[in-house]
Amino acid sequence: MPELAEVELARRQWAKHHGEAISGVDVHPKARIYRDCPAPALRILKGKKLLSSKAHGKRMLFTFAPKLHLEVHLGMSGKLSTSSTDHEEQKHDHLIIRTKKAALIFNDYRMFGRIMLHDCADPWAEFPPQPQDPKFSLAHIRKLVGRHPRKPLKALLLDQNACPGIGNWMADEICWRMGIYPGELCANLDPAAVRKETRFVALGALKHVAEKNMTASKDGFAPGSYVENVPPKNWLFQHRWKKGGTCPKCKSELARDTIATRTTAWCPTCQPS
């Protein structure tokens, strides 16, 4: 499942074509990604310009008019890419938005991704702050932690209403940097440490994954088949996938178990339970 930095990288693929007018829209009307929005409705984009875009957590919003937005979720295997204007539709290209300069492609072979159209000014006006936003303040974290005293830290981090865009590997990275066992209850946490490390990991992931791969990824970005540039070796990220992986701080062998319904890796020495 793509997390906030991978979603931001995907958004930037299409964002290269801000300002371009839409000359055509090709859809696979029966694809499951259209379960919230009938495919023919997308014809409304023809003749409009792709004005701007933004990401929030695991979602992207592409704006075509002050009250016309296309929301995209990548799901498990969704991929945004761009190609030349003569791009020929591939089997899982469920949406192709064509401009005079490029084809903007949404390819999704498992079809857990989805798209929606919005006809209001800001469909995301009520969304909670993301870890990289200034509004992700200490007061905000104190409230979150206070509201869920019996919730494990890992579950809080994975809650998309609390920490939008944080997924499994980022949650493990945050717990490890805090030196806290992922199953520790919110009541026992220091909100300042939660804020500091959540922001560090979110901003670091954006830097290492979203920014550095813009020049590296030629075929667009596919969650799962990982990008060329990843966080450095002193992050848990580089060690948590490996069998026999060790803690980059103390070299203890990493422990693994299911916490908050997800496979979790942690260092039993640095993060005692």
The neighbour count for residue 18, using CB atoms within 10 Å, is 13
Stretches 91-99, 160-168, 226-234, 262-270: which one binds Zn ion (CB under 5 A)?
262-270
Q: Which residue number, 118 or 249, has a Cβ lying nearer to Zn ion?
A: 249
Q: Which residue number, 115 or 247, has a Cβ lying nearer to Zn ion?
A: 247
Q: Which of 72, 79, 78 is nearest to 57 (CA)?
A: 72
Token pair in block for residue 209:
């994954």
Residue 147 CA: distances (Å) to CA of 150, 165, 185, 206: 9, 20, 12, 28
269 scored as a contact of Zn ion (CB under 5 A):
yes
Q: Which residue number, 247 or 259, has a Cβ lying nearer to Zn ion?
A: 247
Residue 183 CA: distances (Å) to CA of 104, 142, 164, 263: 42, 18, 20, 12
CA 136 to chain centre: 17
Q: Which residues inside 189-248 make contact with Zn ion, applying CB under 5 A?
A: 247
Q: Please pick, from the candidates 250, 253, 272, 273, the single residue that binds Zn ion as defined by CB under 5 A.
A: 250
Residues 6+ apart with CB under 8 A from 41: 117
Q: Which residue number, 129 or 268, has a Cβ lying nearer to Zn ion?
A: 268
Q: Please pick, from the candidates 249, 255, 256, 262, the single residue that binds Zn ion as defined by CB under 5 A.
A: 249
Stretches 65-73, 205-213, 216-224, 249-257: which one binds Zn ion (CB under 5 A)?
249-257
Q: Which residue number, 145 or 180, has a Cβ lying nearer to Zn ion?
A: 180
Across the chain, the runs of DSSP E, i.e. the strands, are 22-27, 52-56, 59-65, 68-73, 79-83, 93-99, 103-107, 114-118, 255-259, 262-266
Minimum Å gap between C-beta 166 and Zn ion is: 21
Q: Which residue number, 209 or 270, has a Cβ lying nearer to Zn ion?
A: 270
User: Cα(11)–Cα(20) distance, rounded to whole angstroms?
Assistant: 15
Minimum Å gap between C-beta 179 and Zn ion is: 8
Q: Given the rule CB under 5 A, which residues bind Zn ion?
A: 247, 249-250, 252, 267, 269-270
